[in-house]
Structures are given as structure tokens and as C-alpha cells.
Amino acid sequence: MKSAKPYIEKNKDRFIDELIELLKIPSISADSAYKKDVLKTAEAVKKQLEKAGCDAVEICETPGYPIVYGEKMIDKKLPTILVYGHYDVQPPDPLDLWESPPFEPVIKKTKLHPEGAIFARGSCDDKGQMYMHVKALEYMTETDQLPCNVKFMIEGEEEVGSSSLEWFVSKNHDKLANDVILISDTGMISKNTPSITTGLRGLSYVEVEVTGPNRDLHSGLYGGAVANPINVLTKMIASLHDENNHITIPGFYDDVEELSKEEREKMAEAPFNLKDYEESIAIDSVYGEKGYSTNERNSIRPTLDVNGIWGGYIGEGAKTVIASQAFAKISMRLVPNQDWKKITELFKNHFESIAPKGVRVKVKPHHGGQAYVTPINSLGYKAAEKAYEETFGKTPIPQRSGGSIPIVALFEKELKSKTILMGFGLDSDAIHSPNEHFGIWNYLKGIETIPQFYHFFTEMSK
């Protein structure tokens, strides 16, 4: 495979412009007000896949948002790479914290991206990273170098739990048959330190509701005499961690995979500067489970976090009131061997059991998924390693990530193939946050590296 560098150099302005067009469509899967835009994005992805050289591109209907499927089969005897990505994005809120509107992409220079970065919701997660694969395919087809078969499966519900994809995968084993799954929807350590993601955390997401009196009450007339749902909820939530920041739900850690001393030592070798980490998010100190380092806390250890909490009066000024109800959304990040359905059940039982008299508690499970780990001696991993060596001149470091792509564990179970996570984002790219961006250098480096993966994977499969 010839270096894609000259082709990228010649076409980079167009590559950037095309991505910008895609980023202008607000494909927010969580908000039904944007349904038309989500569907429009699927059409736009289809068109681009066709242009890039896919032979058969379809919009596959599902009970939810459609899946864009495309393929280019050149020879049944050659290996097949299945590329997965998502065209939906997170809601952009809080809007007032964006320096430029989330769906009006602009290019700005930053400290880590002196070449410029595209600021827009979805620029890194995942439109930008998904589109690297479309442009990598264009390079290989335009220069007659595609070495193997390729299938694309781009979904529109990743940010809301991928339930339609689950349905689609279970119904289409033959259509999706492949030798390796390739995904760019994660990050890398830094521009100087390429890494391959070898693990993802699982997830259990629940919503809780605490109900007290049948109406909001005067907090003077009733205060002190009835359970205040907000007081109760916050106390219940606070009790979910002990003084060492261990989670107190009975049985929560029973199945947690413990890493060996050697594995932990190996992890600690990855470059990491605690001061830079703290400074980058303006905190004076990190915080977390006793006995584990920051990088362990955010990757190989399970967590429980409140993602949102509400109830009572939050308007201007003061209103003296005891709310009838209080609510919270809670996520638990899980590690290998923890079963997300079992953890959801443990949470529900425990949370209901700690409710004091005077309130009723409801736990509503949302979605979830299993954690994922992949070995570093698989064919796919070795091919990815060689691809990075070719384009970065360095061997990438295997790294477990704290994020979740729940569908990856399911791919392995259903399609029986390994997933290789070649992410090109940086933690500082602010995915899910205001001012999300994706470095142009990272975008183009991804387009350069992906064809090398195709090459080495095909060669090593012989």
C-alpha cells in the first residue's frame, strides 16, 4: 500500500469541506424534534459511501433510526473488514457554553491542535472519525489499491443505546459476516504517543424517582414533619460510596476482573502526567477509589456516578417548598466479567431497600451493555500495530479506555469476530461537552493510517 500522504495533501481541503457539510446536520438521536435531521444524515452518509466506491449502499430500516449499510466485495477468497461507526450525535447542551454554534462548524487553532481543529458537535464523536474511513476507502478505490473486501455499517442510535443495531445484527449474520471489525470511535494517548484501545467499560444506566407527599408542600407548615424527597434522595445517593470511595451495593464487586500486578505495572508505564491532567480540567486534585491510580480508576475499575439530579424549585429567587418528588439519572461503568443486567438488578434491589419510611422509590433501568477486552496477539491487533508503525514511526501502546461502546461485546458474541479500536481523538477534544472539536492533523492521520491496516491485515491473513 503506497502512502496516502500525497493523495491526502492534494484533496485535504475537500476532505475537510465534506466533513463540515455532514457536521451541519444536527443528528441528535436523543431528541425526537431532530428526527428529520437524523434521517437526512443517514441519506448524506449513503451518498458519500457511494461516491467513495461502495457498490451496494442501502438505508436499512429498523424499529428506530436506520442503519446505513454499504459494501465493496472484490473477491470472496479475500478477507472482509467490517467498519462500524455512528452518524448520530449527543445533544449539544448547555448551548450557552459553546464559543461557536454546535452545528455551524468552524476551524480554530488550539494549543494541542496548532494545525487547526474543527469545532462542532460530532466532529470527533463520531462523524469525523467515521468519515476518515469513508475517505480512506476513497483513496484505496481511486488509486486501485483496495486489497480486500469491505463492509460499512453506520448506525444512528449509538448515543442512545444502539437497540436497533442489536436487532439488526441478530437478523443479519450472513450479510455482516467478516474477518475483523474496525472502529474509530475512541481516542489515543497523544499525537506523539499512538495507542490502540484494547478495552471498553460496560454500562448500566438507570433513573431513580423518590416520591413523598402527594403535592408540593409549604416548607414552613410541613417542614420537619414529613420526609423531603430531595433530602432523602441525596442521602441515599451519598450512601452508595463509603469513605474509601468503594461502592456499597452488596455484591457489586463480586465478578470484577482483578488485574495482576504485572498487568498493572505495564499499565503504569503509559505516559501520564497527573499535574497536566488536573490542570486540563481545572481541578486542584484528583479524587477516587482508594488503592488505585487515576488511570486505573478511569479504565479498569467500575464506577457509579450521578449524571443529573432534579426536583423542587430551581427558578429565580426563593420559593419555600418541599417538593413532592425528586429524580436522578445514574450510570455505572462496568468492567469485564460484570454482567450489566445483574448489576442493574443489584442496584434496583439495594436502592429500594435503603428507602426510609415516608417515601416511595422507583428504579427505572434504561440501557446497558457489557465491557470488552481484546488480546494484543490477535491478527487484527498485529495488523493495526504495523499500520501505526508505518504512519507514526512508533509502536502504539495498548490502552484500556473508560468509555463504552456496548455493541462491541455483542459483535463478538453474535458475529464471532474481534474488534480493533483505532481511535484518533484526544481526551481534550471535549466529546459530549461544549466546544467539541477534532484536530485536522488527527483527521488526516486517521485517513493515512486506515489503508495501511487494510494492507497489513490482508497480507497477514494469507
Residues that bind Mn ion (CB under 5 A): 125-126, 185
Q: Provide the 10 A C-beta neighbour count for residue 230.
A: 18
Q: How far is the CB of 78 from ligand BES (least distance, A)?
A: 29
Cα separation, 354 vs 280, whole angstroms: 38
With binding defined as CB under 6 A, does residue 126 bind ligand BES? yes
Contacts (Cβ under 8 Å, ≥6 apart) of 247: 240, 241, 253, 302, 303, 304, 332
Query: Are 105 and 123 in contact, with CB atoms under 8 Å apart?
Result: yes
The distance of Cα 389 from the centroid of its chain, to the nearest Å, equals 25
Among 186, 399, 417, 428, binds ligand BES (CB under 6 A): 186
Cα separation, 331 vs 161, whole angstroms: 13
With binding defined as CB under 6 A, does residue 344 bind ligand BES? no
136 binds, among ligand BES, Mn ion, none (CB under 5 to 8 A by kind): none
Q: Which is nearer to ligand BES, 401 or 428 (CB)?
A: 401
CB nearest ligand BES: which residue?
403
| b/e map 173-208, b = 16+ CB within 10 Å | eeebebbbbbbbbbbbbebeebbbbbbbbbbbbbeb
Among 1, 182, 203, 326, binds ligand BES (CB under 6 A): 203
Q: How far is the CB of 401 from ligand BES (least distance, A)?
A: 4
Among 66, 105, 122, 161, binds ligand BES (CB under 6 A): 161
Sole window of 154-162, 283-291, 301-309, 379-387 interacting with ligand BES (rule: CB under 6 A): 154-162
Sole window of 58-66, 96-104, 179-187, 286-294 interacting with ligand BES (rule: CB under 6 A): 179-187
186 binds, among ligand BES, Mn ion, none (CB under 5 to 8 A by kind): ligand BES
Q: Which is nearer to ligand BES, 194 or 311 (CB)?
A: 194
| b/e map 296-312, b = 16+ CB within 10 Å | bbbbbbbbbeeeeeebb
Q: How far is the CB of 185 from Mn ion (least distance, A)?
A: 4
Among 122, 194, 406, 451, binds ligand BES (CB under 6 A): 406
Q: Which of residues 8-27 bind ligand BES (CB under 6 A)?
A: none
Q: Which is nearer to Mn ion, 18 or 185 (CB)?
A: 185
Q: How far is the CB of 183 from Mn ion (least distance, A)?
A: 9
153: β partners:
69, 84
401 binds, among Mn ion, ligand BES, none (CB under 5 to 8 A by kind): ligand BES
Sole window of 1-9, 33-41, 156-164, 448-456 interacting with ligand BES (rule: CB under 6 A): 156-164
202 binds, among Mn ion, ligand BES, none (CB under 5 to 8 A by kind): none
With binding defined as CB under 6 A, does residue 403 bind ligand BES? yes
Query: Are 424 and 443 in contact, with CB atoms under 8 Å apart?
Result: yes
Cα separation, 311 vs 425, whole angstroms: 36
Q: Which is nearer to ligand BES, 27 or 401 (CB)?
A: 401
Report which DSSP code applies to 395: P
Q: Which of residues 234-293 bind ligand BES (CB under 6 A)?
A: none
With binding defined as CB under 6 A, does residue 194 bind ligand BES? no
With binding defined as CB under 6 A, does residue 88 bind ligand BES? no
Q: How far is the CB of 273 from ligand BES (least distance, A)?
A: 19
Instruction: Report cis status (omega within 30 of 0) of the bond before 94.
Output: yes
Among 158, 179, 385, 448, binds ligand BES (CB under 6 A): 158
In sequence order, what DSSP letters do the residues of 4-19 get, joined into one string? SHHHHHHHHHHHHHHH
Cα separation, 169 vs 407, whole angstroms: 10
Among 37, 71, 125, 385, binds ligand BES (CB under 6 A): 125
- Return the sign of the alpha-carbon dihedral for residues 96, 97, 99, 104: negative
Whole-angstrom CA distances from 91 to 32, 120, 431, 461 are 11, 12, 11, 41
Q: What crossing angle do the helices spanning 5-23 and 127-142 adopt, rounded to 10°?
A: 140
390: β partners:
none
With binding defined as CB under 6 A, does residue 159 bind ligand BES? yes
The residue behind cell 454546535 is 102
Sole window of 132-140, 142-150, 184-192, 441-449 interacting with ligand BES (rule: CB under 6 A): 184-192
With binding defined as CB under 6 A, does residue 401 bind ligand BES? yes
- β-bridge pairing 106-108 and 80-86: unpaired
Cα separation, 59 vs 65, whole angstroms: 10
* Interface residue list for ligand BES (CB under 6 A): 125-126, 158-159, 161, 185-187, 200, 203, 401, 403-406
